[in-house]
Structure 1
Amino acid sequence: MTRIFHLAHLTTTDVEAIDKTDAVVVQPIGAVEQHGPHLPLITDAMHAEVISAAAVDSLPDDSNIWVLPTLHYGKSTEHLGRSGTIAMSATTLMAVCMDLGDSLAASGFRKLVFVNGHGGQPGLLDVVARDIRYRTGLEVFPVMPMRFPAPPEVDRQQDGFDIHGGYGETSIMMAIAPELVHHERAFADGQAAAAEFDKYEHLTLEGVLPTAWLTDDISASGTVGDPTNASADVGKALLASAAEHLAQSLMEVQAFSFPVGARS
């Protein structure tokens, strides 16, 4: 019998019977936004969903870690104006996440992990995670799997920024859904912006001293990176590594408790 770990596949009676003392709920969250001329709009959401499912599926049958349906829309302000992009405002996305926290707390859950596939919203998830913690008592952990170290056989630095539709994302989509990838349309973009930031000691696109960039500031095509050498084999290696790191992280979240625990 196939193990069920998707929370929404259970009945209300099943959910009520879950031991909430060590249960962890995983919420994949992505975006529907342009990813250059070669990748589908759903790229980020598919990454979060596939990595979350692979991570939880690799855990023991009694792990008590549950995956929710993916939140496909995200805060994609930087891509607005590009065809197909559908963006939530920060206010809307935070309200959705707060409602999610309220609902899980009302069902008795105590731990929530946001698995984020979209680079435009880690800051927002950090903020809303603390608000959920304060309002509901839930312990909340935002994680972006693509920030885990890449496997040694994969060089993520070979195409400059590699932050949007580049080598890494394209490779992963070639592994997940090759039928959705138009690799013949892929070409490098964003190198001029990478060269400009290389002139500065502290200023970066995303780092210690970031700038609030829009896609139109750094890329004509919508791609930021070089997807031309992407491959399904590289994508499979990245997926396996990210899922392994996430599985380990989920077990750490499950074992963790605050030493004071005044709000638990």
Structure 2
Amino acid sequence: MKQWLYQDHTREEISEKAANGWMAVVPLAATEQHGPHLPVFTDSIICGHLAQEAVRQAADSIPVLLCPMLPIGCSQHHLSFGGTLSFSSATYLSILRDMGESLVSNGFRKIVFLNGHGGNDPIMHQTANDLAVKHPIWTASASYWSVSREALQERNAGEVGMVPGHAGGFETAAILALREELVRTERITGSHTERPWINSGPPGAFIGRHGELTGADGFTDAPHKATAEKGKLYLEAISGSVADWLVQVYRSMEQGENSL
């Protein structure tokens, strides 16, 4: 594992890997309310697992380092429900830029952001763009659900609820698979007021309403169809898709370098 975990290396080892063209992956997550039944660390639990599994698989094919996960993101739209830790969008943009600048200072020329919380998504993409404008480097950014959309559809993930949704069947299934003891099953109900306009546009589009950006009462759909078995299936599909994407990104960057 030491080969691909950033924090296990010395400064000399990291500098050498950066100089040799290794790719750095930065996982982004959140600490925020997830309804009455899931822990506030839900996004971080899921993102942390997926990042480790995906990089572990990708490391068989490419030189890649997994940086420590950022467990607090931009979650301003969750603050009114309690339990949430958040940076404002302006602050988060500065944090991600500083993270990228640190990696550039360390010598990295291939930087990838991997996201596990919806509120981080636009800021992450802006950061990747800004870094590539300022420095002669390669950047990439994606949320795990964007990369794995087809694989999740093939596994009929929508059967449990909105994908990825927020604290609905999909995320509940994932936490049941990873940390079942943290799910308050007695708080799970079989029905929930849904907002059909959430995620109703094409991929990449946004529609929102004040006070309901994450659905009624802070979550999008009833989680009662979730099971640990389904969660395991979805997580395996996502980690495989993300691993394939990381390999593709690295090879595209390498091909681009060789063509210059």
Q: TM-score, normalised by structure 2?
A: 0.87
Shift of the 208–144 alpha-carbon distance from structure 1 to 2, 3 Å rule, reads closer
Deviation at 1:226, TM superposition (A): 2.1
1:137 match: 136
Aligned mates of 1:115, 1:218 — CA distance in 2: 21
Aligned mates of 1:206, 1:82 — CA distance in 2: 28
Runs of 5+ consecutive residues of structure 2 not aligned to the other structure: none
Count of aligned pairs between the two proteins: 254
Q: For residues 183-231 of structure 1, what are the alpha-carbon distances to aligned partners after superposition, in whole Å with 9 as ceiling and x for unaligned?
A: 221234342x22xx39xxxx94785763233454664432211210101
Shift of the 135–60 alpha-carbon distance from structure 1 to 2, 3 Å rule, reads closer
1:113 match: 112
Deviation at 1:65, TM superposition (A): 0.6
Aligned mates of 2:138, 2:222 — CA distance in 1: 38
Aligned mates of 1:3, 1:172 — CA distance in 2: 26
Give the alignment of 1:52-63 within 5 angstroms: 52-61=51-60, 63=62
Aligned-partner residue type, residue 144 of structure 1: S
Give the alignment of 1:47-126 within 5 angstroms: 47-61=46-60, 63-126=62-125
> What is the aligned-residue RMSD (CA, Å)?
2.5
1:244 match: 240
Aligned-partner residue type, residue 83 of structure 2: G
> Is 2:175 aligned against 1:179?
no
Aligned-partner residue type, residue 182 of structure 1: R
Does structure 2 retain, via aligned residues, the 8 Å contact 1:151–1:238?
Answer: no
Aligned mates of 1:207, 1:190 — CA distance in 2: 23
Q: TM-score, normalised by structure 1?
A: 0.86
Q: For residues 18-69 of structure 1, what are the alpha-carbon distances to aligned partners after superposition, in whole Å with 9 as ceiling and x for unaligned?
A: 1534311111111111110011111112211110100111234573111011
Aligned mates of 1:160, 1:65 — CA distance in 2: 32
Shift of the 38–214 alpha-carbon distance from structure 1 to 2, 3 Å rule, reads farther
Does structure 2 retain, via aligned residues, the 8 Å contact 1:27–1:69?
Answer: yes
- Of stretches 24-33 and 156-165 in structure 1, the one that deviates more from structure 2 is 156-165
Runs of 5+ consecutive residues of structure 1 not aligned to the other structure: none
2:221 match: secondary structure:
coil
Aligned-partner residue type, residue 13 of structure 1: E
Aligned mates of 2:188, 2:139 — CA distance in 1: 37
Higher helix share: 2
Structure 1 segments (4+ residues) deviating >4 Å: 205-209, 258-261
> Is 2:208 aligned against 1:212?
yes
2:161 match: 159
Aligned mates of 1:206, 1:38 — CA distance in 2: 30
Shift of the 55–218 alpha-carbon distance from structure 1 to 2, 3 Å rule, reads closer
Aligned mates of 1:142, 1:68 — CA distance in 2: 14
Does structure 1 retain, via aligned residues, the 8 Å contact 2:33–2:82?
Answer: yes
Aligned mates of 2:221, 2:27 — CA distance in 1: 24
Aligned-partner residue type, residue 236 of structure 2: A
Shift of the 118–109 alpha-carbon distance from structure 1 to 2, 3 Å rule, reads same
Aligned-partner residue type, residue 176 of structure 1: L
Deviation at 1:251, TM superposition (A): 0.7
1:189 match: 192
2:230 match: 234
2:119 match: secondary structure:
coil
